[in-house]
Structure formats: C-alpha cells, structure tokens
Structure 1
Amino acid sequence: MRGLALVLAVVAWAAPGQAQDAEGPEVEGFEALRTREPPRVDGRLDEEAWRQAPVFDRFHQSFPEPSAAPSERTEVRVLYDDGNLYVGVRCFDGQPAAIRAPLGRRDELPMSDVVRVMVDSLRDRRSGLVFAVNAGGTLADARITQDTRTDTAWDGIWEGASSVDGLGWSAELRIPLRLLRFPEAGEQRWGFHVRRELARTHEILESVPLPRDVNALVSRFAELRALKELRPPRQMLVLPYVALRSVREGVGPLGPSADVGVDVQAGLTSNLSLTLTVNPDFGQVEADQLLYNPTRVELYFPEKRPFFLDGLELFEPLVDDSLPEQSLLYSRRMGLELPLLGAVKLSGSVTENVQVAVLDAVVAGEAGRGEEEPLDTSVRFLPWRPLHLAPGHTLPGRVGPPTNFLAGVVRARVSEAATVGGSVALATPLRPDCEPEDAELEGCTARGGQAATLDMALRSDSGDYVLAAQLSGSRVTGGPAGGRLLADGTLLRPGDMGYGLRVSGGKEGGEPWRLRFGYGLTSPRLNLNPTGFQPMHNEQLLLVNPELVRIDWNGLPEVAVGVHAQQRWSADGRHLPLGTRAQVEARVVLPDSSAGDCYVGLETARQDLFEVVGAGVALQRPSFVFGSCAYTTDLSRPLSLEAVVYADRLMGVPVRHWSTGQNVSLGGTWRPLPQLSTSLSLSFENASDGPRWLDSSPEGLHRFGELVPRFVGVTLRQLVVLSPTLTLQAHAQLYSGYGRYDRFFEVVGEPGARLGLADLREVPLTGEDPAFHTAALNINLVLRWEYALGSTLFVVYARSQESLARPGAPVSFTLLPEGLLEGSHSDALMVKLSYAL
C-alpha cells in the first residue's frame, strides 16, 4: 500500500499546520436572469438566453491541492422562469479527447467528469438538494441534511443533458420549481453551489472555498440572487401504475397476478407537501444481500423502496451513527411481512425555522387455503387487498394482523447553532389476532408499541465542533398477558416502559487534532422495534476516538492516525462488564484518489447476555486480537479493484483450528466501454467466536457446541446502458457454506449466573448433530426505460433458490453449493408501467 507507510512518520507529520479561516473568505454570488424563451435541454448552451446570462467563473480547488488554482476554467450561468430553474455549466478542457464520459444507471454515476449543482432554496444553511450530470449524460440526485449529511436515495423528476465538443464539455439542467421549497418574497435569495469533478486529474473544483478539514457544506454556499416575482408552485403529480406478474414456486402451478396503484404528490403550501401511495409495488427493487449472521443481533438492511426514500430524512437521529442504533422509524418494518395497503406522508416547513414530517401506513394481507385443502385457482375480491388480483393458491397460508404505523417528527432551529426536535411513533394492530408463536398463550393480543424521542444538536459556526443528544422512551402494547422473554432473560409484559439515552460530540473538523466521544444507554425494557431499529438492549457504551489528521501533507491529500477505545457494560443494575475494546487506526488518501486504511486492536473482558436465549445468564466470551486492512484503487480507471482482509485470534482457549477467524473480500469493476460495466466480488467468512449455545433444559442445563463456520460468496453485477434513459442491469449472488460442531459442552446455570469458559464440561454428542450446510442463489434482471420524463417501464425477472434439506442425511462439509439445483426455487416475471400525469 504505497503511501500507508508514511503514516508511521507521526512526529514530522503531526506538526501543526496553518489554521484555516473558520468563516471562509467573502465571495461574490451568482446572478440569475429571467427568460421568456425556455432553453432546450440538450447540453449545448447555444440559445441567446445563455449568452445574455451573467457568468460565474471563480472556482477553487479542494482536491487534491486545497486552495490551488484550477487547471481548467469553468463557467456557470443561471436562468429561470415561472416554473423552472435552468443551470448551464461550461467545462473547458485542454484535452477534450481525454474527457471521461461513461454511461451509468440513473443515480449510479460511474467515476467520470461530473457537475453537481446544489440548491438551498430555504436558505436555512442546513439543508439542500443536489442535481448531478456527468459528461455522458447520466443523472443523479440527492438531499443534504444537517449541513453535511447526504442522502443519495432521494429522487426528483428533472431534466439534464451534456455535450462534448472541441472546447471541453457542457451540462444543462432544468430543475422544476415544485422540487424546491421557498417562501413568498419579492426577491428570492437562495444558497447555491456548483462542484466540478475532473476524472483525469482527480481535481474537485468548488464555486466557494471548501477546505476539506472543515465539517461544513451547505452553510458555506454562496448566494443565488435576482430571482424576482417567483411564486411557489402548487402543482400536483399523479403517477398511476399497472403491474402484471407471473410466479412459479418450484414445479407448482403458475401464479399469475395483477396490481394497480397510484402515487400522488401535491404541494399544499410553498413549503409543505403531501405524498400519497395506494397499493404500491416495489417489484423492481433489488433483493437484499445474502448473509450469514452468527449473532443474536438483528442485521440492518438499507431501505430501497422509492416511497420511503423521499422526505423522511427528518426522522434520522442527530447523534453520531457510531453508537448503537435507537432509531424511532425503520421503514423496513412496513410492507415486508405484510403487503403495504397504502400510505400517506406530509413533510416540509410550517415556519421559517420549524420543519415537520408525518407518515401513516397500513399493512394488511389475506390468507389462502391450507396446504391440505384442494388447490384454489379462483380469483375473488380481497377486502384487505382490493387492488390485487390473483388465484387463491398464491396467497400465504397465514398472515399476521393488519397494522397501522404512525410516526411524526418536529424539528426547530432555535438559533444558527442549535436544533431541537421531538418525534413519536406507534404500531397499532387493527385486529386482536396474535402472532403464530404466541397464539396458544393465555390472554394474548396482537403486539404493538409506542415510542417517543427528544433530541438536540449544537454546531459551531465552522461546523468543527458538534454536540448532539437523544432521549428515547417506549411502551409495550399487546402480546401474551404473562409477557415474553427477551434473549437476555428480561420479561417484557404489556404496559412495560423503557428508556434510552445517546450523547455524541467532539471536534470533527480542523487540523491536526480531532476528537469524537459518545455515550449510549439502552435500558433492559426499551423496545423501539415495533416501528424502529434497536439491535441491542440492556447495554451501556462509552467510546472515545482521538485522531491526528493532516490535509495535503508531503504530497498526500489526506493522512490520519487515531485511537478508538470503548467500554461496554450492562444497564440492568448489575453493571456487568461486557467488553473493553482498543484499536489503533490509520488511513491515507493518495493523489490519484485511491485510498487505504488499517487497524489493529484487542477486545477483552467480554461477556454475552444474549447467547443463552431467555436464560438470563451471562456467558464469558474469549478475548481476541484482531487486525484489518482495506485498499481501493483509482475508481476512474477502466479496471478498479478493492480488497478487505480481516483476521482475529481468540485468546484464553485451547489452541485449535477454530481459534482463528478470517474475513476476506476481493472485488473489481471493469468498464471496457462507456456503455458496459461488470463488477465481480468474492468473499470468504470464518466467524469463529468460541462455544455457541445449542439448547437449555427446564432444570437450567445449558448445552454448547464448538462451531466451525465457513462461507463463501460470489456476486456479479452487469450493467448495459443503451442510453441515459434505457438500462439493463443483472445481479446474481451465490452464497454457500457450512457449520460443523467439533466438540460439545454443558453447564448448569441459574438465572443471573455468570458462566465462564472454564465452567464448560466437555460431553459426548447426544441426539441429532446440529451441523448444517446451506446454499442459496438470487438472480435479478431489470430493464428500466424512462420513456417520458417521470414515466417508466420496468421488465423484471427474479429467481431465488435454496439448497435441498435432507433430514437425517449426513451433512456435507463443503463450500460447494451441493443440493442447490435440487432445492426449492421461485421464478417471477413482472412488467410494470407507470405514467406521470
């Protein structure tokens, strides 16, 4: 790793550099010109209106040499009319043949020459929208919150085009004003910023100086002036769709189905919008990644469904994401187990400094006939799925109760430096049906939950210093009258309440010293999961992360060395130590934008409250040393590579092959032509972590096994871009592996006991061997055609397959996907057409 060795020269490198001006120099802003003849969006900037518009050309380099003069000239012009904002950017280039203009899928810009236009139309210096177009004409957009956080999941309907010529290339954007929230005023003054990225030289040019060591973005934007006599539009967008689907489970009967639905977006006021969806369909969304999870902790999967991606950024916590999650709203809870019947959300500003968001969603499903009943091929009206037509045999045998999810948040900016907010969320079953696992328990009703949070954030003017806090509370509704046991033995009964606290802050910008700290507390009965995401409970965590950072040091754009230390202990009054972790970290960014990072560390004094499920005992975990290195090459090359290697070794256990663990991931992307991109990644996982729990007897006898897991994965992505609006994407993932148990142990432990590794007594295997082998395959093919602005045709093929389970047969300890072809599988073909009205 070329530059990483330089990190060792800490003494010379850590010498203080010149302090950056926290406020930044004064810059002149942009001037807009009203036009009566809207320009044609073709990327050429050849209309008379563009020649008359004022020119902005004072750009500054931020990478790789901060404050250096740009190697190429850039000109920006802005036009507007009653319905749109037009931005034209001329990117001069002395080597036009070297301009990198590959094509990509919408919102997936390849490494290329790019222009990004950022607009803060509320002029709140905290939020904004990003509109990007590359030299090949591929579009992408994003939303910025809290000054620096970028959410690339946001999607808007706008136009952009580019054109390459002998002088360089140019970009032309038409941004409908209905995408921008702004107050009524005689003259608008918006925050405005333009960023140009040159792939050949790796330069990043900014329209206002943005030192990389400063934790600020939107607050530094220059002004866009002379926007006069603009009235916020009250437009409405109606997007109906129809989807036809054919599904076959194995060799079973064909399951045709049809769905109709609609999305509606309406501007209620200049700053407040309403979005409604009825029977939404997300069949074009890529399947989740296949993973092996050896822990008792729920995995987080990112949201990919368009309705939930837009306008819910206010629900994002203000505290540092390095702390365990206490998120009030995790939209993945809605519409995955039961179909989403409909949802409505309201978001925007009610005053200049107060923002609100409200989401209400109803999930519901219908049950078909049981497996023993005759095949039901009839199509009937479904009260809980009235816009879905399908034969009865395609319906699941059992569904949970229909549930209403309601969440709301208010955020107020009380000063330039302070933001406060509060949020609530409720999951309310609409029928008293119990979940299948609780149905036989006395006094059981359907589970729900209520939760609320209060939060605040403080930022210095420069953004370098931050402090944020969040207080959470929850109340359990429904479930068995006698309660249910959580993994750590906590009894959670209807009406129980819990609380949580998270505090984070520190110095997150500037040179050479930075410091981050955090504290998290999750009480044993805090339960945000009915609506949110809370992977842990009964835990406290304290972390400290000092760091030395140098920008543009000895020819390297960025070098950093830091220490990460954290302590965990229980929150149930016993204050049991759960683990102490310390690691040294180093990272480097090279002039060609390739990057590497490494860390080594030790974790000791580990105890696990969740391994022995429901028993209320703490199991000692072995201490371990660990290390990892990652490296990513220059992404602008036709062939780019990335590698991550991790290894650990358990301590205080007999020296056996299961005392070491490895995770290796290798990947590469090849772009032989601007229209083609192929990505291949390979992974190997060995998550050894000492004896694992198997089962417990009512008398408190707990059994464990020495687990040796091995898994491999292969993921292939192929992208063919016929035009910026017509793409074909293929995604395939094969995942295979096994878990072998070499030795078995048992120990007696009453609730509240602390079980040490030395307490485990080796015993012969009794009963069935818990060893396993599994293999799975997911394939997705998606053709996407945006045949008109905002109107899209999708053709999707999906296949999922799992290996055949053979009860009683010997387990094959191989990484090969044995039994996969004979296993159960599902094939689905979908055609979905939407049209923007």
Structure 2
Amino acid sequence: MLLTINQLGAVIALLFLSSLSLVAQTEATELNIPKKVYNTIAVKGEAPDIDGDLSDAAWNDVAWSSGYVEFQPDVGTEPTQQTKMKITYDGKNLYIAFHCLESDKSKIERRLGRRDDFPGDWVEINIDSYNDDRTAFSFTASASGVKGDEFVSNNGNFDSSWNPIWYLATGENEEGWTAEMRIPLSQLRFSAEEIQTWGIQSTRRYFANEERSTWQPLPANPPGWVSEFGELRGIKGIKPQKQLEIQPFVLGQYDTFEEEVGNPFRDGDDFGGNVGLDAKIGITNDLTLDLTVNPDFGQVDADPGAIALDGFEIFFEERRPFFVENKSVFDFRVGGGADNVFFPRRIGRTPQGGTTFDASKGEYEDFPTNTTILGAAKFSGKTKDGWTIGVLESVTGKEFAEIELDNREEITDPLDLDGLLGEKRKELVEPLTNYFVGRVQKDFNDRNSFVGGIFTTTHRDMERSLDFLHTQAYTGGIDFRHNWKDRKYYIEGRGIISRVNGDPQAILNTQTSLTHLFQRVDAEHLEVDPDATSLSGTGGNLAIGRGSGKWRYELGGNWRSPGLELNDIGFLRRADRIVQFASVRRFWNNSTSWYRQANVGVEQTTQYDFDGNFNRIQYEGRAEINWKNNWFTEVGGAHKPRIFINSFLRGGPRWRFNEENFYFAAVGTDQRKKLSAIAVYVNSQAKQDNFSLNRYELRLNYQPLDALSLSLSTEYEMNPNKTQYVSQQSYAPATFGTRYITGEIEQETLSATLRVNYNINPNFTIQYYAQPFIAKGTYTNFNFVADSDNENLNERVTLFNQNQISEVDGGYAVDEDVDGTTDYSFGNPDFNFVQFRSNLVARWEYIPGSEVFLVWSQGIEGGASSRESLTDAFDSQVLGQQIRNTFLVKWTYRFVL
C-alpha cells in the first residue's frame, strides 16, 4: 500500500528527528582536536640538493616534526610505523623532507605507475597556502619516486588533472625510506603579506597494513579535509611569484583504413600534422590565465562503448586536459545525476547539422568528427579575500562536410584533372560559435559559508541552413552553503534560470525533444507553441543534513521545470521533474577482531512532474564492510513500488512499469596483492516479468613486477523486456490517433576493458588500453499500448496476433483490422552493434613539464546480423575487417619564464 503525502512527510520527519537524537547521544564523545603547528625558518646557506639524501646542511637548521596518528583503519591510535617531516624555504622554493621509518625494510612496496597512480608506499603533503580552509595543493611521493599532484577544492574534492612543475627524489637508509621535494613558489598561490600562515597536512600510506596516518590528527569522518589542517608558520618575506609558462606542441599523424573503391575520401591512408600552443600566465599571484590555441587531444582515451534504447544522450566524462584542470571551479550541478549548467564536452562537439548527401546518386561524404576549437582561455583562481573566480571563453570554427561525386567512369581525357577529382561541394554543418562561462563564489562567516553565482552564454553566427539550432542560450544561477557547529551540519542550495532564443523551428525542436516533450498527449500543463522564438525555465535544489561523524543524514529536494534547457553548453537529461530525497547512514570507523571499517545506510526518494503526477517512489538500502584481511563486501537493494515514466512513449501518454525489486552484491579480495579480483552481481526483477536484469562483472588486477601491471574488467548483461518501445504510427481508430508499439526484446551486452601499464622509470611509461563492446537485441511478440497506466501488464498492452502482423522486407506490416489492407508498418528494430577501441601510448617526460608522446590507436565499429551470436559478431566485424589505425607523434616543451 502506497503512503499518502502526509504519511510520507511524517515518516521522513520521524526518521530525521530519530537520527538527531542518536547524534546527540554520541556528540559528547567527539573530541575537539587541537591544531598542530610546524615552525620553519629560511635556508641560511645553500639549498638542499633534491637527491633523496637528507644529509644536506640546510636540513640541520630545521627540526623534525613527528607524532603522526593513525586515521585508517583505527582513528586516533599509534601507527605501525612513524613518519618524520621537515620544511624549509628560500625566495623561490619550498623544500620538504620526509623520513618514513620502517623496522622491516622488506615491507617497503616500491611499485611503479604513471603520474597520479599513487602506487605502493607513499607520503604526501597538502598545502593550504591561501589559508582559506577550502582549497589546497597536494604533492605525493611514492617510495619508487612516482609523483602525484592534485588540487583540492571545496574542502575535500581532489582533482588529479592539475600538473604543476616540481621536483622529487626518493632514497633509502638504515631506518626506512626518504623523500625530498622542491616545490617552486610559482606553483602555489599565497598572499603578499610579510608573515605567512599556511594550513598543512601530511598523510602517509603504510602499504603493508593498508594504513593511513596523518600529521594533524583527525576525527573519524571529519566534516571536511582542508578545514582540519594544522598550521605552517615562520615563512617570512617571500614574494608572490607570477607564473608564466608557455607550452607549444608539434605533431604528425598518419592514418590507415580500408580502401573503398570509388570513394575519394577513403583511399586507404591519410597524413597530416598540427601545431598549437598552451600557456599559463599568472595575472596576479591569485589569478591565472590559461590559454590554448588549436589544441590537440590525440592521446586522450576513447570513450567506452555504450548503447541506450531509451533515446536519451549518453553521458561521458570530460577527459581533455585543458577542460578537466580546475573544473571544480565551474561545476554547478542541478540536483542529482549528471545534470550540470556547464558540460565542457559541448565545446568541440560533433557537428549537429546534416547535409544533402545522396548515396543513390553516387555521392560520397567526408563528415567531420569534431568541431575545431580555434582557441580557448580560462581565467581562474582564488583571492586572499575569499573570492573564487572562474571565467572561460572558447570559440569553435565553422565546420563543413565535403561531398564529392565519383564520376571517374565518365572521364575520357586522362589529363582532365577536374573530372578526375569529381564534382565537389562543401556544406556547413556547424556555425562559428562562442561559448562563455563566468563563475564566482565568496567565503564569509570565518569560511564556514559561501554564496556564489554562475552565468553562461552560447552565441552562434547563424546561417539559414542551420536554423534548427539556437541562436543564443543563456543560463544564470546562484548557490550557497552554510556550515555550523564545527562544520558538522550544513544547509545548501542552488537555483538556476535558463533562456534560449532562435528561429521558431529551433524552439519547436526544443519543445518536442525527448528532454521536454511538450507534445505529450496527456500533459495538461504543457502546450506546443510553434511560433515561439524563445523558451525559459528554472531548476535547483535545497538540502540540509549532517556531513561528519558516525551518523550522517540528508533531507532535501530538487526540481527542473518543463522549459529548463541547458544542452547548448550544459547537460540536462530530463526536464519537468520534482524530486524529494532523504537518507541516513551509520559508520563504524574503528576495527574489531573481524572487520576494519563498515557502514550501512538507507535512502528514500519520490518523484513528481509539474502536472502533479506522482511518478515514482523508491526505498533503498546499502551496506559496505572492509574485513580484517582487507577483503571487502558491498550489498544493497531497492524496492520500487511505483514507476511511471513520462518519456517512455516519446510524446505518448504517461507509461507505467510493473513494481520492481532490485539488489546487488560485490566482493573484492585484498587489492594490495599481486593478484586481486572484484566480482559483482546485479539483479532486477519486475512483477509479471515485465522486465529483468542480470549483470555479471569480474575485474582482475595483476602486478607480476613493480614496473608492470595488468587489469581486465569484463561485463556481461542480459536485459529482457516485454514492452520495449519500438515505434509510433498514425492510426485513426487508436487513442490519440496514434499506435504506440512495443515489443519483447532479448538484449545482451558484452564488454571487456584491458589495461597494461609498464614503467621504464617514473618519467617514462607505456600504457595500452583496449575495449571490445558488443550489444545485441532481438525483438519478438510485438504489441500495442492499450492502457498505458494500467497496473496489469496484460491490460496495458495488446499482442498482435499472427493475422495482424507480417514480416516484410526490412520491417513489419500491420493489418490491425484484418481487412486485407496494411494499416501501418515499422522497421525491423533488431540490432547487433560491435565496436572495438584501443590505444597504445608511450609517454616520456624528458624534463619536468615537457613531454613526448608516441601513440598508436585502433578502432572499428559496425553492425552484424542479428542472427549472429555475440562472439560471431565480434569475429565478423572486428577480426574479419581491416581496422582503422592512427599513428601519432607529439612533442611538447614547457618554457617557464
């Protein structure tokens, strides 16, 4: 029996108040931990050599600081092995020395990895040089000499895309291993004050026990990371260093592919080159301008294979370095999921236009895969007064598809070069476009609170052939967060408003897109306006909760109005939603005789649309435990008694799925071992076998040598559904004059991801990535929607009988009234999609910040017969075809001025 709204509110309130009571009982046991202080002095003579040997005279002038305290798995206890730290400085650099004590040096794990892999034993320092309790710069040294560096934002979000220039050497002595760092002050941001006070924290990973200890002791589940740092004092007289780095690149690329006879664009190979420039300019000590001109991202991994039968765009993470670095400054999420006001993959996207290309006339087309980014600039940083500022500007150029008619058979004169080349034309498929993002936040209330805003614009230099695109798109938003009682509790929220302008065709396309569906036949609150030249909407969220301690909880909601549109420069999957959520989680942080750490939580969500329809309710539970032997187990499940989807019939009436129960279980072995594994099983089952899901995952990691690691992740999924959407066809006797057709699908997906990493040394690495992906769907038992919101599946749809439907060439014909005349038809929806991607990259950082890349990429995709099995489809479409090859050499040099 479903809860009424009042009953649901009472349950949520009771849950919230109960957790408050439990927290109050444990509040008194939580201690206020005093801040540690390290006092340093400047180098008096020669600066220390960065060689891993700590015998330099400069180190004798500063004291060791020790007293590290275990943070994981047992908070507040003495670590297995202690760590000592020293810090000194001069006018240009900060120097840090670590002595990681080890009574049994055979336990030191010196695994190699690429930058930011954090392999084996490591030690790191985090520096809050702004002293703002929210942002920090992190530098990590593995025992093998591998560097790691991250920018920390929002009091705990680590971004490994930040790659500063700094110097590291590690060594070994009779008492353990050592690390020595030199960090140029130009890579940090700090005020111009004569006497500096910085926040610092140091963490050591003791690999043998999978243990973390910290220099500044921390409580279990702290309310943040940077806010809990200790202090570095004694730095005097240093001057902010204005950063100026210029990094040009040069590349050459050679492509080979299967020759297509008669196709002038597919002659078997292609050669090209490119030059570009990246620059980083310190406008002030606080604010940095990043520039890129004609950027290249050839060494970036390809996106994983995926297929979506619901029609929605698939979300892929941004991987390009220019846009990834410091991306947290521009982040502005709209509730849960991937929805965001700024989604940088819109910049340089695949062109959105089409052409008049006609294969039946013997024409061939060369369609660009991406839009050229002419240039981009990013101005970002944080001032000593607590202002976080981000401005991003990018321009993408016009893109044209080339179309050529193969008329070589008509050539009579062998010297007729114009005839040999055939008829050519170019058609515009993407206009000149300007993208702008402005972001600001201001800390106040002793850095316990902030307010901020964001503004984005997209402007297109429109031409008539592309009038289906928006001419302008604007988004504005505000956000805030307030923490109190030592940051244990918080309230946060954000609100946004959007507006898009364009030709009536462009706005009509937006109104009727899958994201909006203003034409939905049973939506009384929506109406299509074919003459509209703009569309506006709002969105946002509000949440309150506790973010630290043994008990954590949150209560809140979010919304996206029907007219909200973000997809010109952001990401929005579905508008017209109102979501309420509540969650509680309990943590057990100290180990016992049988586990190290554990937590368990429950969550409840409901969903409505702006017409007041109650579309979904879900109850979910999840538990995680890390066993004493470092194996782990995760289990969870959900009950979904009510599932309505407005978009399932793509403009048709609201659709109901049967009640669903879902659960998953995962178990993993000790991930430190040379050979480790993770196995995952996911099961979902709806009543009346409406749909089900069985997913099997196996992930293997093997490290036979310190320099060599291999990982293989495989996934097999079966997802049958008796009512998978197929098509909609006009048919007068049908409700709304349209027949909505579904079918029973047997869907299988198989994928595998192989990664091989070999490290010649910490600065010379070789990585190989390969992923085959196969997705197959076979349809039977076609039916039409009779009563879309009926609880009984057999009343919801009506099966076509054998007299009503017949298979024809390329599809199906339906004679619904059995009068001997076809009433409507639809295509064969069966599919068998095969894709293979691989990337072999050799990367050599020959001096800090300057690199050489050698890349070999392969790729192919195609459609196999639906009668073929998954393995047969892979054999015919990958092993049996000529694969595209790309060979790329890229050289960069970073000038530091």
Report the secondary structure of 1:643's partner residue. strand
Amino acid at match of 1:500: G
| Distance 1:98-1:300 versus aligned 2 partners, 3 A rule | same
Residue aligning to 1:585: 622
Post-superposition Cα deviations, 1:727-750, rounded to whole Å, max 9, x if no partner, equal 00000001113101121111368x
Q: Which residue of 1 aligns with 2:125?
A: 117
Q: CA deviation digits over 1:311-362, x for unaligned, max 9? A: 332222378x7x2444111111112321211100111235512121100011
Residue 307 of structure 1: SS of its match in structure 2? helix
**How far apart are 1:365 and its partner, in Å?**
4.4
Paired position in structure 1 for 2:432: 402
State the distance in 2 between where 1:818 and 1:608 align.
38
Structure 1 counterpart of 2:308, from 293, 302, 309:
293
For 2:671, the equivalent position in structure 1 comes to 635
Q: Residues 432 and 445 of structure 1 are in contact (CA less than 8 Å); yes or no, is this contact kept in structure 2?
A: no
Contact 2:375 2:394 in 1 (8 A): yes
Distance 2:422 2:88 in 1: 56
Measure the CA separation in 2 of the matches of 1:35 and 1:278.
Answer: 43
**Equivalent residue for 2:441?**
411
Partners of 1:415 and 1:393 in 2: how far apart? 69
Identity of aligned residues (%): 25
SS in 2 for 1:714: strand
Change (3 A) 1:814 1:61: closer
* 649, 655, 659: which one aligns with 1:623: 659
Q: 2:165 aligns with which of 157, 160, 183?
A: 157
Retained in 2: the 8 A contact 1:730–1:780? yes
* Post-superposition offset of 1:414: 2.2
Deviates more, 1:795-804 or 1:764-773: 764-773
Deviation at 1:793, TM superposition (A): 0.2
Deviation at 1:694, TM superposition (A): 1.4
Amino acid aligned to 2:890? K
Gap change, CA 1:273 and 1:196, over 3 Å in 2 = same
The farther-off stretch of 664-673 and 763-772 is 763-772
Alignment of 1:343 with 2:402, yes or no, is: no
Select 1:331's aligned residue among 327, 344, 347: 344
Distance 1:36 1:345, change over 3 A: farther
Q: CA deviation at 1:204?
A: 0.8
Report the Cα distance in structure 2 between the residues aligned to 1:25 and 1:696, rounded to whole angstroms.
Answer: 67
- CA-atom RMSD in angstroms: 2.6
More off after superposition, 500-509 vs 783-792: 500-509
TM-score (norm 2): 0.84
Query: Corresponding residue for 1:6?
Result: none
Secondary structure of the residue that 2:400 maps to in structure 1? coil
Q: Which residue of 1 aligns with 2:19?
A: none
Aligned CA distance change for structure 1 residues 393 and 95 (closer, same or farther; 3 Å): farther
Determine if contact 1:324/1:535 at 8 Å carries over to the other structure: no
Structure 2 gaps, min length 5: 1-21, 260-265, 351-370, 409-420, 519-527, 731-736, 807-811, 814-826
Match of 1:450 in 2: 474
Bigger Cα displacement from structure 2, 408-417 vs 27-36: 27-36
1:42 shift after superposition: 2.0
Report how far residue 122 of structure 1 moved: 0.4
**Partner SS state of residue 483, structure 1:** helix
Residue identity in the other structure for 1:787: Y
State which of 123, 148, 154 in structure 2 corresponds to 1:140. Answer: 148
Q: Give me the whole-angstrom Cα distance separating, in 1, the residues matched to 2:790 and 2:440.
A: 46
How many residues of Structure 1 are paired with residues of Structure 2 in the alignment? 787
Amino acid at match of 1:489: L
Give secondary structure in 2 for the equivalent of 1:830. strand
**TM, length-normalised to structure 1:** 0.89
* Structure 2 residue identity aligned to 1:477: N
Which residue is equivalent to 1:73? 82
Structure ranking higher in helix proportion? 2
Q: Give the AA of the match of 1:420.
A: V
Aligned pair in 2 of structure 1 residues 128, 279: CA closer, same or farther (>3 Å)?
same
Deviation at 1:689, TM superposition (A): 4.5
Shift of residue 632, structure 1, vs aligned partner: 2.6
Partner of 2:62: 53
Moved over 6 A (4+): 13-16, 391-397
1:561 and 2:600 matched: yes
Of 770, 786, 802, the match for 1:732: 770
> 2:423, 2:679 → 1: CA distance?
46
* Residues 349 and 737 of structure 1: CA distance in aligned 2, closer, same or farther (over 3 Å): closer
For residue 516 of structure 1, report the CA deviation from its aligned partner: 1.7
Distance 1:784 1:535 in 2: 37
Equivalent position SS for 1:803: strand
What displacement does 1:263 show? 0.7
Matched, 1:777 2:836: yes
1:795 alignment counterpart:
854
Alignment partner, residue 887 of structure 2:
829
The partner residue of 1:701 within 727, 731, 739 is 739
Report the AA paired with residue 340 of structure 2.
Answer: S
Pairs within 5 Å for 1:242-641: 242-251=250-259, 252-253=266-267, 254-317=269-332, 323-337=336-350, 338-350=371-383, 352-372=385-405, 399-416=429-446, 417-435=448-466, 444=468, 446-481=470-505, 483-484=508-509, 485-487=512-514, 489-490=517-518, 491=528, 493-511=532-550, 513-552=551-590, 554-555=592-593, 556-571=595-610, 574-613=611-650, 615-641=651-677
Q: In the alignment, residue 96 of structure 2 is paired with which amino acid?
A: V
State the match for 1:168 in structure 2.
Answer: 176
Which moved further from structure 2: 722-731 or 619-628? Answer: 619-628
Q: 1:374 to 1:669 in 2, by over 3 A?
A: farther
Q: Is the 8 A contact 2:461 2:471 kept in 1?
A: no
Contact 2:196 2:235 in 1 (8 A): yes
After TM superposition, give the deviation of residue 220 of structure 1 in Å: 1.1
Cα gap change, 1:209/1:171 in structure 2, threshold over 3 Å: closer, same or farther? same
CA deviation vs aligned residue, 1:649-671 (integer Å, no higher than 9, x gap)? 111x2x5xx74311111101101
Question: Aligned equivalents of 1:397 and 1:595: distance in 2?
Answer: 56
Structure 1 residue 293, shift from structure 2 partner: 2.4
Aligned to 2:417: none
2:13 — aligned with what?
Answer: none
- SS of equivalent residue, structure 1 residue 774: strand
Change in 2 beyond 3 A, CA 1:643/1:233: same
Residue 726 of structure 1: how far off its partner (Å): 0.3
- Which residue, 201, 219, 228 being the options, matches 1:211? 219
Residues in 2 aligned to 1:672 and 1:260: alpha-carbon distance in whole angstroms: 40
Question: Which consecutive residues of structure 1, in runs of 5 or more, have no partner in the other structure?
Answer: 1-12, 376-390
- Secondary structure at the counterpart of residue 186 of structure 2: helix
Which moved further from structure 2: 252-261 or 38-47? 38-47
Matching residue within 650, 675, 682 for 2:686: 650
